[in-house]
Amino acid sequence: MADSEKRRSLIQQYLVQNGACSISALASRLEVSTMTIRRDMELLAGKGLVRVYHGVVVPLKEEATSLQEYALTKAEAVHVQEKLRIARAAASMVEPEDILFIDGGSTAALVARELPRGIPLTIICLSLNAFLNVAGNPAAEVILAGGIYHEETHIFEGPESIELIRRYRATKAFVSANGFREDLGVTCSNNYLLSIKQAVLRSSIQKILVADSSKFGKVNSCYFADLSDFSELITDDGLPDSALQSIRDSGTKVQAV
C-alpha cells in the first residue's frame, strides 16, 4: 500500500474511534502539512466516507456510533468482507411489506444493518445485535423476542421467545448457522439456538440460510435442519462448484456472492 493510502486508512481508523478530529490536529499527528490532509479528506469525502466542515473532519460511516458499533465489535471480525457481501445480497431480496425474522449471529446482524430503510417492514429480531441494527428505522415495526439474555450469543432464550416466534408468520427468515454440509445438515452450537431456529423455520414462507463458506463442511453439536429445508442459501464464492451444483439439484437456490 502506498504511503498516502496508509495515511488515509490511519485517519479513517482514528476518526471512527474518536468521532471527529480537526484537520490541523491530524496534520501534526501524522507530521504532514494541512494541505496534504485536506487533499486526503477531499478524496475520502468524494467516497462519502467523511464529511469536512470548517477545519473538522467527521466520519460519515453509517451510524458507526454507540449501538451499532457495539453490535459489530462483539461480532467475530473474521470473514467480514464475505459476510458483508452476503448480507447485502440478503437485504436486497427484501421487499415492501415483508415480514422478516432475523436470526442471531454476526452475519444475520449484518443483514439487519443492511436492510433498506424507509420501506414498510415488520422485523422480528432474535438477538440483541440484530435488534440494535434496526431499532430506529422509522418505517419498520420492530419486534424483539425476549427472554433470558445470553451474552455470548446475544440471544434471548426461553419459552416466551419460542411462543413469540410461533405467534408470528414471516415472508422471509434469515437464518444463520455454525456449520452446514450436505450429508449431516445444518448445525448450531446450542440447544436453545436449535429450538429458536426450528421455530423460525416453521413460521416462515421463505427460509434463507446466510452462511459464509468457512462454515461449509463443518458440523456442530446441534442439528436443526437439512440444507434442503431451506429455500435459499446465500454464501460467498468459496464453495466448490460441485457442492453448489448438488445443493441446487436438491431444490435449494444458491447465491454465491
Handedness of CA 59, 130, 76, 208 (dihedral sign): negative
Among 45, 52, 142, 257, binds DNA (CB under 7 A): 52
Distance CA 224, CA 173 (A): 15
Distance CA 208, CA 13 (A): 34
54 binds DNA (CB under 7 A): yes
- Minimum CB separation of residue 228 from a second copy in Å reads 31
Could you report how far apart the first and last alpha carbons of the chain are, in Å? 26
Among 1, 3, 47, 54, binds a second copy (CB under 8 A): 54
Q: Which cell goes with 48? A: 462519502
47 binds a second copy (CB under 8 A): no
Residue 2, sorted as left (phi over 0), alpha (psi -120 to 50) or beta, turns out to be beta
On whether the CB atoms of residues 144 and 131 are closer than 8 A, the answer is yes
* Size of site (CB under 7 A) for DNA: 19
Binds 36: which of DNA, a second copy, none (CB < 5-8 Å by kind): DNA
- Minimum CB separation of residue 16 from DNA in Å reads 20
Distance CA 211, CA 55 (A): 43
Torsion (CA) 217, 224, 197, 174 in degrees, nearest 10: 40
67 binds a second copy (CB under 8 A): yes
Residue 132 sits at φ, ψ, to 5 deg, of -65, -25
Among 12, 34, 122, 214, binds DNA (CB under 7 A): 34
Stretch that binds a second copy, among 76-84, 95-103, 140-148, 201-209 (CB under 8 A): 140-148
23 binds DNA (CB under 7 A): yes
171 binds DNA (CB under 7 A): no
Distance CA 119, CA 116 (A): 7
22 binds DNA (CB under 7 A): yes
Among 49, 111, 164, 186, binds a second copy (CB under 8 A): 164
Distance CA 113, CA 134 (A): 6
Stretch that binds DNA, among 13-21, 49-57, 102-110, 233-241 (CB under 7 A): 49-57
Stretch that binds a second copy, among 20-28, 83-91, 209-217, 240-248 (CB under 8 A): 20-28
33 or 92: CB nearest DNA: 33
Distance CA 101, CA 130 (A): 10
Q: Count how many residues are written for the chain.
A: 257
35 binds DNA (CB under 7 A): yes
73 binds a second copy (CB under 8 A): no
50 or 186: CB nearest a second copy: 50
- Minimum CB separation of residue 32 from DNA in Å reads 3
Q: What 3-state class would DSSP assign to 129?
A: helix
Binding footprint of DNA on the chain (CB under 7 A): 2-4, 7, 22-24, 31-36, 38-40, 52, 54-55
